Amino acid sequence: MATNQPVVTFREYPVNAGGLTLNCREAGNGLPVIFLESLRWGSQDFYDALARSFHLFILELASGEAEGIEPAVREAAEMLAGDAYNLVGSSGGANVALRTVLRLARDPEPAESLVLLSPTAVRPADALSDLSQDQWSSLLLAHPEQFDNTGDLPAGVDLRSILAPRDSDNDLEAMLPQVKSPTLAVFGTRDRLISKEAPSTYRGSIPNCHVSLVYDTAHLPAAERPEAVASAVTDFIENRETFVVNRHSSVINP
């Protein structure tokens, strides 16, 4: 991320909701964005970029609590952002976001836009069940050799619980047509945790869905190419489906 950007300072505090205590980091001003984070690692540049444009609340989903956490997410989001917000999730967090809007559907839906970064709940790649922690880790990045400034994964993180598909999600694909929010589904072009058909499945099943492919990234595109993902996500949250319209001038020299 460009070094001349203003420094973003996050405030960190616990949020009690749905009988759970969730860690929350907050920064920025503007449209409220609830970000569901399943892995606190590698994406700070991306968060900083979002916080420069939005009022960002990052809810940390402890991996062991991700199952059945949707009511707590709904309640926390309303406590933090009121009755209208933009819901973003990455990896396991994207799955939670999807389950939240599908299984706890509201009318009107408070998630004015839904952004799913590398969701694995629908159409995960085959043969993902019996991987070791190292094997899961090797699937996170397309270029781990270029990613040396963030350090190792935090100790104790169980990647399987974050990344592995769940039998309880088997009904989600059939429910995708019920998603009411304008949706952006983001995938790395080298993500081996999802099947090749997954982007088309989201695009073809969710009524107002756009798919963004992030070149040369694996399962954590926001970590590997934060500028590219922030550009798409920011544009989508601000403009929803009209983000397809280019508003940048092509004039070189007036």
Please, which residue, 35 or 243, has the CB nearer to another protein?
Answer: 243
What CA–CA distance (Å, rounded) separates 28 from 57? 9
- Pairing outcome for strands 183-188 and 111-117: parallel
Does position 142 interact with another protein (CB under 8 A)? The reply is: no
Q: Which of 220, 199, 247, 207 is nearest to 90 (CA)?
A: 220
Q: Which stretch binds another protein (CB under 8 A): 3-11, 13-21, 44-52, 225-233?
A: 225-233
Does position 229 interact with another protein (CB under 8 A)? The reply is: yes
What CA–CA distance (Å, rounded) separates 165 from 122? 8
Q: Nearest approach, Cβ of 28 to another protein (angstroms)?
A: 22
Please, which residue, 145 or 167, has the CB nearer to another protein?
Answer: 145
Please, which residue, 25 or 225, has the CB nearer to another protein?
Answer: 225
Among 17, 114, 214, 220, contact with another protein (rule: CB under 8 A): 214
What CA–CA distance (Å, rounded) separates 21 from 17? 6
Please, which residue, 32 or 221, has the CB nearer to another protein?
Answer: 221
Buried-state track 237-253, b at ≥16 Cβ within 10 A, e below 16: beebeebeeeeeeeeee
Q: Nearest approach, Cβ of 209 to another protein (angstroms)?
A: 9
Round the CA-based radius of gyration of the chain to a whole number and report it. 17
Does position 192 interact with another protein (CB under 8 A)? The reply is: no
Q: Nearest approach, Cβ of 204 to another protein (angstroms)?
A: 5
Please, which residue, 17 or 176, has the CB nearer to another protein?
Answer: 176
- Long-range own/partner contacts, residues 171-175 (CB < 8 A, 24 or more apart): 172/98, 172/99, 172/102, 172/121, 172/122, 173/122, 173/123, 173/201, 173/205, 175/102
Does position 23 interact with another protein (CB under 8 A)? The reply is: no
Q: Nearest approach, Cβ of 224 to another protein (angstroms)?
A: 11
Q: Is the peptide bond before 6 cis (omega within 30 degrees of 0)?
A: no
Residue 128: both structure tokens together:
């993902």
Q: Nearest approach, Cβ of 66 to another protein (angstroms)?
A: 27
Q: Which stretch binds another protein (CB under 8 A): 31-39, 71-79, 114-122, 224-232?
A: 224-232
Q: Which stretch binds another protein (CB under 8 A): 35-43, 96-104, 159-167, 239-247?
A: 239-247
Among 228, 234, 237, 240, contact with another protein (rule: CB under 8 A): 228
What CA–CA distance (Å, rounded) separates 159 from 111? 27
Q: For residue 21, count CB atoms less than 10 angstroms from its CB and return exposed for 0-12, middle for 13-18, buried for 19 or more.
A: middle
Q: Which residues bind another protein (CB under 8 A)?
A: 189, 197, 199-200, 203-204, 210-216, 225, 228-229, 231-232, 243-246
